[in-house]
Amino acid sequence: MSDENFDDAPTPWSTLSGVAAARVRPLGRAIEARLAVPGSKSLSNRALILAAMAEGTTNLSGLLLSDDTYWCADALRRLGAEIAVNGMAATVRGIGRRRPRPDGPIHVGSSGTLARFLPPFLAAGEAGQWRVTASRQMTRRPVAPLFEALRQGGAEIAFLGDPGCFPAVFAGGSFAGGRLSISGRVSSQFISGMLLGAAQSRLGVELDVEGGIVQSAFVRITIDAMRHFGAEIEADTGLEHFTVRPVGYRARDMVVDADASTATYFAALAAATGGRVTLTNLTPDTLQPDYGFMALLERLGCSVTRVGGGTTVTGADALRGGFTADMRPLSDAVPTLAAIAPFADAPITIAGVEHIRHHECDRIDAMCRSLAALGVPVEEHRDGLTIAPARPRFAVLDTFEDHRIAMSLSVLGAAADGVELLNPACVSKTCPTFFDLIGAVGVETTMIAG
């Protein structure tokens, strides 16, 4: 993809190019389905970056092909890594701390993981200078805490627009490491990015985290992936202090888990329709926090069977509400729970997730607007929302350029009276095949050209 087409352009791994809207029709029955879930976006980008920054050649399998992973692979190639993709597999020849291409433009698209993970590697590796741009959406998302922590360790960063935001220029060889501190209140990705890059810094890093960590499970996923590739990292039990030694990474083959966040939409279909869905490759031993959505479904009255090879969700005759769910540990699943909450027999309150106002969109506001347009009584709170029982009616809805809003509202529409979604192509960020997958399990969709 040429540099001049960077800004918000579809990638070769996008779907639904030229589609203005998707009409999701009512399922009208209890779903009965078995399916394999695409690979985890979070793990795919961690695996790609670590394999590229390792010494040697790594084989990856189960890889997700989406907009976020495309921009990740493209950025790493622009640094000099060799990445050959074959279906859901990839062979990556790493560059370690070397920078075979020590200058040039890099684009991170709307990928939050790439935008937070790549800068520490750029600053910690060999000398070079890279101008990093992002989509319009990503330039509005917070990155300043990460940049401030990098600067504590000597990183040289020049902003080309608003301070603390993309676009920015990063100087290689400028991040030495040392004793640093960072806030964990806004995004776990800031901590993950610092830890990932720390293994290539000259001095290593002693990192103190202030204020706790939003979605701390993702930091544990980062630590696990780093150790898989040979990093030497220690963390206290509360994830308040980390020690990372400057030993770099070594190539090692890796299998990417199924995406637990994507799985929530299909599990929710079973819950909302009183049906049954078996997710054949979603194993209960995954470290992904959104697997906790299965316990929420049990709270709603569903039955969940967890076996080594997969997970089966069986819906109840009527979903049970009347509780408050602290969704801070699995906040990516907030739109999914909000989408099925109207089918419960009593109100459900979602709390603890003020930080999701700063994701691809303000997800609290977006779900409140969407539910209201569907005729669902909803009350917005600073850190969440309360949803009352209702029969959602048909409506034409914005997706707010947010993949999780689009997929959640698709579930709601299929379980109720249908829905028409504007800009459905945003699902390409993490699940380009989403509408094919729901079609395969019986949900009819009609694509409307722009």
Catalytic residue among 259, 290, 332, 402: 332
Nearest to 36 by CA among 85, 86, 88, 79: 88
Exposed / middle / buried, residue 4 (Cβ in 10 Å: 0-12, 13-18, 19+): exposed
Query: Per 3-state DSSP, what percentage of the chain is helix, strand, and coil (rounded to 5)?
Result: 35, 25, 40
Contact 123, 134 (CB under 8 A): no
> What's at 66, amino acid-wise?
S
DSSP class of residue 319 equals B
Contact 378, 337 (CB under 8 A): no
Nearest to 295 by CA among 285, 287, 283, 303: 303
Q: Are strands 241-244 and 233-235 parallel, antiparallel or unpaired?
A: antiparallel
Rounded to whole angstroms, how far apart are CA atoms 346 and 335?
Answer: 18
Rounded to whole angstroms, how far apart are CA atoms 245 and 149?
Answer: 17
Contact 35, 270 (CB under 8 A): no
Q: Is 383 a catalytic residue?
A: no
Rounded to whole angstroms, how far apart are CA atoms 222 and 198?
Answer: 12
DSSP class of residue 406 equals H
Six-digit token string for 438: 């729901």
Task: With both helix axes pointing from N to C terminus, report the angle between 217-228 and 188-198 in degrees, rounded to the nearest 10.
Answer: 20
Count Cβ atoms below 10 Å from residue 403 Cβ, excluding itself. 28
Rounded to whole angstroms, how far apart are CA atoms 140 and 360?
Answer: 9
Six-digit token string for 109: 């698209």
Nearest to 337 by CA among 417, 435, 439, 261: 261
Rounded to whole angstroms, how far apart are CA atoms 366 and 341?
Answer: 15
Rounded to whole angstroms, how far apart are CA atoms 343 and 119?
Answer: 44
- Annotated catalytic residues are 332
